[in-house]
Structure 1
Amino acid sequence: MIGFAILAFFQLAGWLIQRLTGLPLPANVIGLLLFITALFLKWVSLHKVEETASFLLKYMSLFFVPVIVGSLAFFPYLRDHWALITGSGVISLLLSLLVTGWLVQSHLQARRIRQQEEETHVHRG
């Protein structure tokens, strides 16, 4: 039960921060960022929330039932515009893959350059 209280606390903290500051992020995301920060800083122990998180993940598909039912209500619209919806999904997927690949490549290139500079500096010093 303590795990659920911890998760609920970070959810509430995210909601409060979003309401008070007007950040253009969903409260869930703010709470998750706070929770991850607390885990990395070891303010929250993973074993305290692990059981609760496993339980919630086990039944996570139940949270998607309203979305599925809602999509059935819009089925005629989805049927009429399936090509546009599919095309935009494929294009966004490809753009995400390209941008991610480019970022990884540039990060690896920068790391190689940094290592070469360090090796050159060590040999000269």
Structure 2
Amino acid sequence: MQFLNGITLLLVYQLVGEVTVRLVGLPIPGPVLGMVMLFITLMICGQAPASVDQASSALLSHLSLLFVPAGVGMMAHFGRIADEWLPITLALLLSTVITMVATALIMQLTSRWFVKEAPTEEGSNE
């Protein structure tokens, strides 16, 4: 029963995100907004309820099944992918580089916020 409660809660957050995006007209996917709302809720609560923990663990254990539709889509549209391999490759490479640079910059920025400077000793010759 805990699993069903957890899945229901996850789907409710997804639904709320979807409805909010459609009502407000935000340019982000509804499930992403729902995930942000869930994250904020969990941060406020301090920990995930046991039902959400059980449901998310079960979903993560079967995560590889979610790649099957993408693989089938690749096979079904192989001719189009072969025709447009150059723009696809450039988009993949550029997005990977941009993501890595953005991640590095964000990591540096956040590490400055959380790392406090060690007090320096007077008289040290460094």
TM-score (norm 2): 0.74
* Residue 61 of structure 1: aligned partner: 64
Deviation at 1:41, TM superposition (A): 0.8
Letter in 1 for 2:20: I
Asked if residue 48 in structure 1 is aligned to residue 38 in structure 2, the reply is no
Letter in 2 for 1:83: L
Letter in 2 for 1:41: I
Q: What fraction of aligned residue pairs are identical, expressed as a percent?
A: 29
Q: 2:18 aligns with which of 15, 18, 22?
A: 15
Letter in 2 for 1:21: V
Deviation at 1:4, TM superposition (A): 1.2
Q: CA RMSD in A?
A: 2.7
Question: 2:56, 2:111 → 1: CA distance?
Answer: 34
Deviation at 1:83, TM superposition (A): 3.3
Q: 2:82 aligns with which of 74, 79, 83?
A: 79
Residue-pair matches, total = 117
Asked if residue 26 in structure 1 is aligned to residue 40 in structure 2, the reply is no
Contact 1:38 1:44 in 2 (8 A): no
Asked if residue 3 in structure 1 is aligned to residue 12 in structure 2, the reply is no
Runs of 5+ in structure 2 lacking a partner?
120-126
Query: Comparing both structures, which one devotes a greater share of its residues to helix?
Result: 1
Runs of 5+ in structure 1 lacking a partner?
120-125
> Match of 1:61, SS?
helix
Whose RCO is larger (CA < 8 A, sep 6+)? 2
Deviation at 1:111, TM superposition (A): 6.8
Question: 1:108, 1:41 → 2: CA distance?
Answer: 23
Question: 1:44, 1:9 → 2: CA distance?
Answer: 18
> Match of 1:28, SS?
helix
Question: 2:50, 2:6 → 1: CA distance?
Answer: 9
- 1:34-66 CA distance string (max 9 Å, x none): 111111111874322111111112222222322
> Match of 1:24, SS?
coil
